[in-house]
Amino acid sequence: MRTLYYSHPDFLLHNTGAGHPECTDRLRAITSALDQPAFAKLLRKVPPMGSNQQIQLIHPLTYIQRLQSTLPVQGLHYLDPDTVLSSGSITAAFRAVGAVCDAVDQLMTDQADNAFCAVRPPGHHAEPTQAMGFCLFNNVAIAAEYARLHYHLKRIAIVDFDVHHGNGTQTAFYQQPQVLYASSHEMPNYPGTGYPTETGAGNIINVPLVAGDTGVTFRKKYAEIILPALYAFKPDLLLISAGFDAHRDDPLAAIKLVADDFRWVTEALMDVAEEACAGRIISVLEGGYNLKALAANVAVHVKTLLGD
């Protein structure tokens, strides 16, 4: 497989302060793992800066301007107890949007088969007009809408295996049947959304897990609920909100996945993409807060995307 890998030093400019789980060391751990010889085949691409026009596909200009106006010159500004701005946060967030939109361009013009975007800040909790849950701009939602409008795609699927429900992504597409959003997540847990009864226009699939669930339950629910829905939907492009905080060692949740479960779900999603959309997958980093586990799980995920 021709797998693109997006990362950039700008993602380290988003400083969340001492002790914050969504820290710069997350990206350093991933970079170290993917700089190993086993990943020599990765197509490493410098992401461009995103634009206001791209971000406005999901977030109104007034929201972007509000974030920019509250950016601190020094120190930190807390949007809420979890979500922090530093002087470099908007630069990082714009660069993240540029990465995911460029990945869409590359895949839709057959320059690559799939992509992994190691970006921060993450995005799936960001509502159209509200930053929350460590997230400023909803990277995956922007990529989906960018692909839909610029390449006239009829069906885009987003699969979110982060342990926390992607409330922002669900909100963005709740009444948009051209976008299928499927999420597995621990409940009860932050942000308190993601009940199976939340179905939108029939395009929202929420599959809750409970504390202590292992890969056995995770795989069973994907095999019985999410994967059949994806095959039936036949997406023209598959996006992944790739959170690795459902791992058994993660400090922010209590699901007990292991690295092989992330390999399994990646392979399963690749099989869907191979049948439906010529293998086109864009995977975008979300959570994962145990540094050792995060690096190992990302390595497994990317190695699988490479076809190794």
Write out the two tokens for 176. 């948009």
Which of 100, 94, 104, 102 lies closest to 49, judged by CA?
94
CATH number for the segment(s) 3-305? 3.40.800.20
What are the sequence ranges of the domains in the chain? 3-305
Active-site residue list: 125
| Rounded mean pLDDT, 222-235 | 98
CA–CA dist 273, 151 (Å, integer): 17
**pLDDT at residue 12 in the model:** 98
* pLDDT exceeds 90 at position 173: yes
**pLDDT at residue 214 in the model:** 98
Q: Does residue 110 come out as left (phi exceeding 0), alpha (psi in the -120 to 50 range) or beta?
A: left
User: What's the mean per-residue pLDDT of the chain?
Assistant: 98
Q: Which helix (H) or strand (E) holds 227?
A: helix 227-233
**pLDDT at residue 200 in the model:** 98
* pLDDT exceeds 90 at position 60: yes
